[in-house]
């Protein structure tokens, strides 16, 4: 038996169907699972389906990807959380016709309760005409922009003609200024070339002076000693022969050292010098170099070595390092009459060697040019030397990525120190 409530619900449903059929927009109702329950004629025409073809189908049938994949998720999430992501919110989406054509629609989904049932109603408005109008407006704007661009190009060409004329005038002025600048530059280059030529001439003069003076002394010693050796032809004169033979050897060693300095400088400045690092122990290395120096030290001199208690291992070029230390020690021996201190200190990634003497020292004026080629300090002109030793030492330290410094006081001695990385890279 039907109740008044049942009659009322049926009446509402009939009214709803009547409204659906006369509506110009498409109207579709679905149940809580997304199954289509009703569709009006406007929606059928819109999607190109007969009513029987869609009733009972999932609403995703009328949606292209990705909307078809997302729809069921929206409904399930709404049932669980009550969050209204699409319900009650109008939005622009895409519809899918039976023919496969995808077209733009404006969709408004609302929830309706009929008795104990809950259905969802979607009102669908085809906005293809609106999108077409928007597209036409965009196309018209593009045409208008093309016209503006065309007129702008014509104006730009006129302006460019004026600019070209102006540029030609400026270029003539610029060419004249450039010619004047080039002339000035040539004058500057010529002045610099003259300065370099003067410096080179001074270097040549220094080298000739050094060579004629420093080479003459050992050559004279060799010549006079050889002449005297010829006279000592008896057995009892053997001590005299040995004395002059020792002088010859010493003179030859001096000549060899000077030539070695000149060749080393040449290789360094021409870039023909290669670093060949090897692994070795610093304490043993220092003791070996000091042992070799024993033949050079004076009778009243000693070389004192201070080393860390632990082993210091390094990876660098031992030959270059030997030349550095040998040069510094031989200078200390040459310019001092007292003992010489050689100290090795160890840091985390580096090591430092300090050579200290209590000799003649270096004046403040001479210290400014101490590492120059062929430079001899004013108080060392009467002591044999090429003036290349410290210049080569500084270049060697630079080659090994190290740092070098010194302190000196005239008449009180000098201290030279160099710091090198334990591992050459």
CA 102 – CA 86 distance, rounded (Å): 20
Angle made by CA atoms 198, 202, 203, in degrees to the nearest 5? 115
Domains defined for the chain, CATH in brackets: 4-126 (3.30.450.20), 274-421 (3.30.565.10)
Report the C-alpha gap between 336 and 343 in whole angstroms. Answer: 17
Give dist(CA 145, CA 102) in Å, integer.
30
Mean pLDDT (whole number) for 186-202: 66
Q: Is 307 strand, coil or helix? A: coil
Section 409-415 average pLDDT: 92
- Model confidence at 257, pLDDT cuts 50, 70, 90, reads low
CA 133 to centroid of chain Cα atoms: 55
Q: What are φ and ψ of residue 132, in 5° steps?
A: -65, -40
Query: Once rounded to an integer, what is the mean pLDDT over residues 132-145?
Result: 87
Proportion of the chain above pLDDT 90, given as a percent: 26
Q: Enter the pTM of the model.
A: 0.44
Select the highest-mean-pLDDT range: 49-53, 61-65, 141-145, 221-225.
49-53
Of the two residues 86 and 286, the one the predictor is more confident about is: 286
Lowest mean pLDDT among 144-158, 199-213, 397-411: 199-213
Buried b (16+ CB within 10 A) or exposed e, 52-75: eebeeebbbebbbeebbeebeebb
Q: What is residue 6's predicted lDDT score, i.e. its pLDDT?
A: 58
Residue 151, pLDDT > 50, answer yes
Distance CA 390, CA 97 (A): 93
Rounded-to-integer distance, Cα 186 and Cα 75, Å: 85
pLDDT digits (tens, 9 = 90+) for 90-107: 788 889 999 999 999 988
Please give the average per-residue pLDDT across 186-213, as a whole number.
60
| Residues ≥6 apart with Cβ < 8 Å to 353 | 286, 325, 342, 343, 344, 417, 418
What's the rounded Cα separation, in Å, for the pair 89 and 110? 8
Q: How confident is the model at residue 385 (pLDDT cuts 50, 70, 90)?
A: low
Could you tell me the pLDDT band of residue 271, with boundaries at 50, 70 and 90? low
Which band of pLDDT confidence, cut at 50, 70 and 90, is reported for residue 339? very high
Q: Is the pLDDT of residue 227 over 80?
A: no
For 114-133, the pLDDT digits (tens) are 667 778 888 899 888 888 88
- Give the DSSP per-residue string, 101-151: -EEEEEEEEEEEEETTEEEEEEEEEE-HHHHHHHHHHHHHHHHHHHHHHHH
The values of phi and psi at residue 10, to 5°, are: -65, -40
pLDDT confidence bin for 212, thresholds 50/70/90? very low
Over residues 45-58, the pLDDT tens digits come to: 999 999 999 999 98
Largest CA distance in the chain: 161
């Amino acid at each position: 038996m039907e109740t008044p409530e049942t009659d009322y619900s049926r009446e509402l449903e009939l009214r709803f169907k009547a409204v659906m059929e006369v509506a110009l927009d498409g109207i579709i109702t679905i149940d809580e699972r997304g199954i289509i329950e009703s569709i009006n004629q406007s929606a059928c025409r819109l999607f190109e389906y007969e009513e029987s073809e869609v009733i009972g189908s999932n609403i995703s049938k009328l949606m292209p990807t990705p909307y078809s994949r997302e729809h069921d998720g929206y409904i399930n999430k709404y049932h669980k959380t009550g969050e209204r992501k699409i319900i009650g919110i109008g939005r622009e989406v895409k519809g899918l016709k039976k023919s496969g054509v995808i077209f733009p629609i404006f969709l408004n989904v609302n929830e309706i309760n009929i008795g104990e049932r809950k259905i969802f109603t979607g009102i669908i408005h085809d906005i293809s005409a609106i999108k077409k109008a928007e597209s036409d407006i965009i196309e018209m704007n593009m045409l208008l922009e093309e016209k503006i661009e065309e007129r702008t190009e014509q104006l730009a060409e006129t302006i460019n003609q004026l600019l070209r004329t102006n540029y030609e005038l400026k270029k003539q002025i610029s060419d004249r200024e450039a010619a004047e600048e080039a002339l000035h530059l040539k004058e500057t280059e010529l002045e610099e070339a003259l300065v370099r030529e003067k410096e080179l001439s001074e270097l040549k003069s220094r080298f000739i002076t050094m060579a004629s003076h420093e080479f003459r002394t050992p050559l004279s010693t060799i010549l006079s000693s050889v002449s005297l050796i010829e006279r000592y032809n008896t057995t009892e004169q053997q001590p005299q022969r040995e004395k002059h033979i020792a002088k010859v050897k010493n003179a030859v060693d001096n000549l060899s050292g000077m030539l070695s300095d000149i060749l080393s400088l040449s290789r360094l400045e021409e870039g023909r010098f290669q670093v060949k690092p090897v692994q070795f122990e610093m304490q043993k290395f220092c003791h070996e170099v000091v042992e070799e120096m024993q033949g050079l030290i004076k009778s009243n001199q000693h070389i004192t070595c201070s080393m860390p208690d632990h082993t210091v291992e390094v990876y660098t070029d031992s030959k270059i390092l030997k030349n550095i230390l040998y040069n510094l020690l031989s200078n200390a021996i040459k310019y001092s009459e007292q003992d010489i201190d050689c100290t090795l200190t160890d840091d985390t990634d580096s090591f430092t060697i300090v050579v200290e003497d209590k000799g003649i020292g270096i004046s403040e004026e001479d210290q400014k040019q101490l590492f120059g080629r062929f430079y001899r300090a004013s108080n060392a002109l009467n002591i044999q030397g090429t003036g290349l030793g410290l210049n080569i030492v500084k270049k060697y330290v630079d080659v090994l990525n190290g740092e070098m410094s010194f302190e000196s006081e005239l008449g009180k001695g000098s201290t030279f120190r160099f710091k090198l990385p334990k591992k050459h890279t």
